[in-house]
Structure 1
Amino acid sequence: MSALTCSGGWRSLFYVLDVHVCRAHRRYIGARAGVARSHQDQCIDIVRKYDYENFLATLLLPKTARRAAFAVRAFNVEIAQIRDLVSERNIALMRIHFWKDTLERIYKGQPPETPIALELAKAVKQHKLSKQWFARVIEAREDNLYDQHYHNLKEVENYGEKTVSSINYLILESLDVRNIHADHAASHLGKAVGIITLIRAVPFHANRGNVYLPIDLMMQFGVSQEEVQRGCREAKMKDLIYNIASQAHLQLEAAKSLKKDVPKTAFPAFLTTVANESYLKSIQQAEFDVFDSRLQARNSWLPMTIWLRKFKNTF
C-alpha cells in the first residue's frame, strides 16, 4: 500500500508542502515588522492579496524567473482592477493613460519611481520582455471600458487572448522560453482562463447590477439580465453556464494536448491550469449553479495540488 494512502502519509505530504511554501513565503513575502518593504515585496503582496491562485503558482517558478513574473502579475492586477474599482470612466482612462506612459518610460530606461514600474524595468532588462504584450493588455482593458458586453463566446475568448494570454507570453519570456508550441499552449490557456474568469465573476457582477454573459447565449437559453441580477438558479441558467464552461474545458484540453511539443522548461508557466481545472470540477459538482455559495470558498487543497503538479513537472 502506498504511503500516501494512509493518514500518516498524507500528513507527511502536507508537512513537506507547508515547509516548501512557508520557506518561499518567508523569503519572498515576509519581512520583519518595522523593516521597509522592498519594491519586490510590494509587488508580491499585491499578487498575494488580489490574485491568490496565480500567487501560489508564481511562488513555484524557478528562482531566476520568479521576481520578473511577480512584477508582471502585479502589473496585470493593477490594470485589471481599473474597471471594477473606478466608477468614473474619465478617471479610469487617466489610469490607463498613466500605464501607457509608464510603459513607454520603462522601455526608454526611465521608469517612474513606483514599485511595479521599477520592478518591471528590471524584468524587461534582464529577460528582454516584449513591449507588445504589455501594450496589448493595456489596449484590451481600455477597449473594455467602452464596450463591456460580449455578443458571443468568441468575443470572450478574444478578450482572454489579449489579456490573459499576453500575460502568459510574458511569463514564458521570464522563463527565457521562446517557443511556438509553448505560445500555442499559452494562447489556449489564456482563452480558457478568460472564460472561467467570466463565469466566476457572475455573482460579483450581478450584485452590482451588471451582466456580462454572452448576449447570444442568454437569448438562446432564455435567460434575461434581470434574472441573472436576481441570482437565477433555474435549469435554463445552469444550461447556459454549462455551455460556457464546456468551451473553457475544451480550451484547457487543447492546451494540454500540446504538452508533448512544449519544452519542459516552459511547464512551470502552465501551473495556473491547476486552479482553473479545480474550478471547473467544482462547478460541475455544483451542477453548474454559478450562485452556489460553495464556489466562493477558497480551495484549501489548491496549494498541495499545484505543488504536486510542479513536483511531477507536468501540466
Structure 2
Amino acid sequence: MRQDHAYCVNLVRERDKEGYLCGLLTTSPRAYFALKALNAEIAAIKDSHRSQQRSEGTLLALQMRFQWWMDAIDQVIYGDADHNSYSHSPIIRSLKHAHHEYGFTRRFLERLIESRRADLDVVQYSTMDDLIQYTEDSVSAMLYLSLETLGVRDDAADEVAYHAGVGIGLVTAIRSIPYNLRVHENLSVPSDVLRTESSRQRDDLILSLLAEEDSPIAPLTEQQKQLWQDAVQEMVAVASWHLSKAQQLQIQVPRNARVAFLPVVPSMLYLSQLQGPANYNVFDPTLNDPSQRRLKLLLLLSRTWLTGRAIVIDTLRKATVKPIEAAGQQSRNYCLYYFAFTMKYAALVALLAGSASAFAPAQQSSRAATSLQAEKSKALPFLNRPKLLDGSMAGDNGFDPLGLSEVNAVGIDLYWLREAEIKHCRLAMMAAAGFIWVEAFGPAPGCEMASDKNQITAFWQFWDAQPQYIAFSLIFIGLLEMIGGIATTSGRESGQRAPGDFGLDPLKIKGDKAKFEKYQLQEIKNGRLAMWAAAGQILQGCTTGEGAIGNLF
C-alpha cells in the first residue's frame, strides 16, 4: 500500500500541484490522494488529443478509456474481483483500500467519470446552466467524496460543497480559456454568455483571438472587445456568487471537515488577480505565473488550515458587474462577493502552482511516466528529488516536500532561503547556548536586574529597567540586517558569494577544501538542531516559567 500511495502522491504532484498542496493538510491523505489521482487520470483523457485531430477511431479509443475506469470501479472497488487486470492499477488498489475504510458513495464516483466522458464531445456549452451542471458533476462530486473521507455525510455540508464546487469549476473554466483557445481552438465560455449572433461571428472572434498570441485582445474590434469583456465579467460574477454562498453556509460544516474546502483558496486568489491587476484580461501572463502566486497562496492556505474560517479579506475587493443585456433575454445583474481563506500564522506550506480539472491542460501520459521515474529524494524516498536541490549545498538531502526551493517571488529564491537558514542557524546556536549559560552562571555585568532563571522573564526585567539598551540593540540589529541584505543582493546578482559567507575565516579553514566542507556540514546540522532547541526553550519558558535547566528536572 505504501508504494501505491507514493504513486498517487507523485501523480497528483505532477498534474495537480495545487491539489497536491491541499492534500498535505488533510487528515486523511491516503484517501484524498487516491481520489485526486483518479481525477487527474480521467481529466487527462480529453487533453490527450487535440479536438481538431480526433477521428472516429480516436474518439472511440478515448471512450474505451473512460469505460475501463468505470468497469474497474464496478468490479474491483464495489465487486469482488481482486486479481483481474483492473487490480494492477495502483490507483484502483488505493481507491479500494480507501473505500474499505470510508465507504465512498458509488454514485459520486460514477458521476465523476460520466461527467468527464460526456464532456469529451463538448466544444462549447450552450448555456451557463449546462456548464454549472458539469461543474457540479465533476468538481462538486470530488468535494462530496472529500467530505466522506473526513466522516461528514449530511445535506448541509453537501450544499456547501455544491456551491464551492460550482465556483471552483467556473473559475477553472475561466483560467483555461487561453489553453483551450490555443490547443483546441474553442472557448470554455457558454454560448448564451458570449452572446454572438451567429456561429460565424463566434468563429471570427476565435480567429481574432488567435491572430496575435502575445496579446490576443489587441486584434479585436470594439464590438468584439465589449462582447468578450461582458462574457468574462458575467462568468466571474456567477462564480463569485456561488463561492460567496458557500462562505455564508460554511458554518454548517464541522470545523474538522472544512479542510475539504481548501481548493477554494487558489480560485479566490485567481479571481482577485483577474479583477484587480489583470482588469479581466484572462490572457494576462501573470495570472498563472507561479512566481506571482506562490507566496500569497502559501499565506492564505496557512491561515485557512489553522483557523478553518473563510472570510472576506482586503486583497479580494467587492464589486458589481453592470447589467449585461442579451437580445430577447432579461437583463442579468450578478453581484460579485468575494471571500477567501485568511491566515493566522505563516510559513506552514508552499505552493507548487498549477491546477487540475477537465478544462486545465493535462500532461501526456508518457511525460508523466518519465517524471514519476525521476530520481528520488534521499530524505523522502517516496517523493521525487526537487530539481534545484542537487546535493551541491551542505546538508542537502532533497528534503523539500512543500516545494519551498521552487519559490521565486518578491526577491525570494533558493539563494535567499539558504542565506536566511544559515543566519537563523547561527543565531539559534548562540541563543540556545546563551540561555543555558546565563541560567547557570548569572547575567552579564551591568545586567544584574535581569536575575530570573527564566530568560523570557529576565528579558522583560531588563526591558523595564533599561529600555534604552533594548532600543540601541534594535538599531544595531537593523544595521546588521541592512549590511546582510546588501551582501545577499550583491552576492546573488554577481554569483561570486556563497550564501552566509561574510569573509570571516581567522583559522584559514577555506584553504583545506575537505575540512571546509566538513565544517560547513557540521554548522548546518548543529544550526538546524539549535533552531529546534531554542524554540523549545522559549516555548517551555513561556509555559512553565522555568529556565532551560530547570525544565530538565
SS at match of 1:296: coil
Q: Amino acid of the residue matched to residue 268 of structure 1? A: V
Q: Does 1:137 align with 2:102?
A: no
Rate the CA distance shift 1:147–1:67 in 2: closer, same or farther, 3 A.
same
- CA offset digits 1:142-177 (Å, max 9, x no partner): 111223321121111110000000110000001111
Q: Does 1:288 align with 2:264?
A: no
Q: Amino acid of the residue matched to residue 271 of structure 2? A: L
* Distance across 2 between alignment mates of 1:193 and 1:69: 18
Moved over 4 A (4+): 220-223
Q: Amino acid of the residue matched to residue 277 of structure 1? A: M
Match of 1:57 in 2: 22
SS at match of 2:60: helix
Q: Does 1:159 align with 2:134?
A: yes
Describe how 1:76-95 pairs up with structure 2 within 5 A.
76-86=39-49, 87=54, 88-95=58-65
Q: Amino acid of the residue matched to residue 92 of structure 2? A: A
Rate the CA distance shift 1:294–1:138 in 2: closer, same or farther, 3 A.
same
Contact 1:211/1:229 (8 A) holds in 2: no
CA RMSD of aligned residues (A): 1.8
Determine which structure has greater relative contact order: mean sequence separation of CA pairs < 8 Å that are 6+ residues apart, divided by chain length.
1
Match of 2:252 among 231, 237, 261: 261
- Matched residue pairs, number? 278
**Structure 1 residue 307 displacement after superposition:** 1.5
Contact 1:56/1:303 (8 A) holds in 2: no
Q: Does 1:309 align with 2:304?
A: yes
* Distance across 1 between alignment mates of 2:262 and 2:62: 32
Q: Amino acid of the residue matched to residue 271 of structure 1? A: L
**Structure 1 residue 113 displacement after superposition:** 1.3
**Structure 1 residue 37 displacement after superposition:** 7.7
* Distance across 2 between alignment mates of 1:114 and 1:192: 32
TM-score by length of 2: 0.48
Contact 2:143/2:165 (8 A) holds in 1: yes
Greater helix proportion:
1
Match of 2:171 in 1: 196
Contact 1:96/1:142 (8 A) holds in 2: yes
Match of 1:215 in 2: 191
SS at match of 2:195: helix
**Structure 1 residue 240 displacement after superposition:** 1.7
Match of 2:181 in 1: 206
Match of 2:546 in 1: none
Which residues of structure 1 form unaligned runs of 5+? 1-35
* Distance across 2 between alignment mates of 1:102 and 1:228: 41
Rate the CA distance shift 1:271–1:91 in 2: closer, same or farther, 3 A.
same
Q: Amino acid of the residue matched to residue 172 of structure 1? A: L
* Distance across 2 between alignment mates of 1:254 and 1:212: 23
- CA offset digits 1:215-269 (Å, max 9, x no partner): 1121269863333444335344223211111110000001111022222122110
Q: Amino acid of the residue matched to residue 70 of structure 1? A: F
Q: Larger radius of gyration, structure 1 or 2?
A: 2
Match of 1:47 among 12, 31, 35: 12
Contact 1:157/1:191 (8 A) holds in 2: yes
Match of 2:92 in 1: 117
* Distance across 1 between alignment mates of 2:280 and 2:81: 49
* Distance across 2 between alignment mates of 1:281 and 1:68: 31
* Distance across 2 between alignment mates of 1:259 and 1:140: 26
* Distance across 2 between alignment mates of 1:228 and 1:156: 22
Match of 1:103 in 2: 73
Match of 2:154 in 1: 179
SS at match of 1:293: coil
- CA offset digits 1:14-50 (Å, max 9, x no partner): xxxxxxxxxxxxxxxxxxxxxx981101101111111
Which residues of structure 2 form unaligned runs of 5+? 219-224, 311-553
* Distance across 1 between alignment mates of 2:149 and 2:210: 40
* Distance across 2 between alignment mates of 1:193 and 1:139: 19
Contact 1:153/1:214 (8 A) holds in 2: yes
- Percent identity (aligned): 29
TM-score by length of 1: 0.84
- CA offset digits 1:94-150 (Å, max 9, x no partner): 110110111112211435111100000001000001111110011111111223321
**Structure 1 residue 71 displacement after superposition:** 0.3
Match of 2:351 in 1: none
Q: Amino acid of the residue matched to residue 161 of structure 1? A: E
Match of 1:232 in 2: 217
Q: Amino acid of the residue matched to residue 302 of structure 2? A: W
Describe how 1:3-18 pairs up with structure 2 within 5 A.
none
**Structure 1 residue 308 displacement after superposition:** 1.3
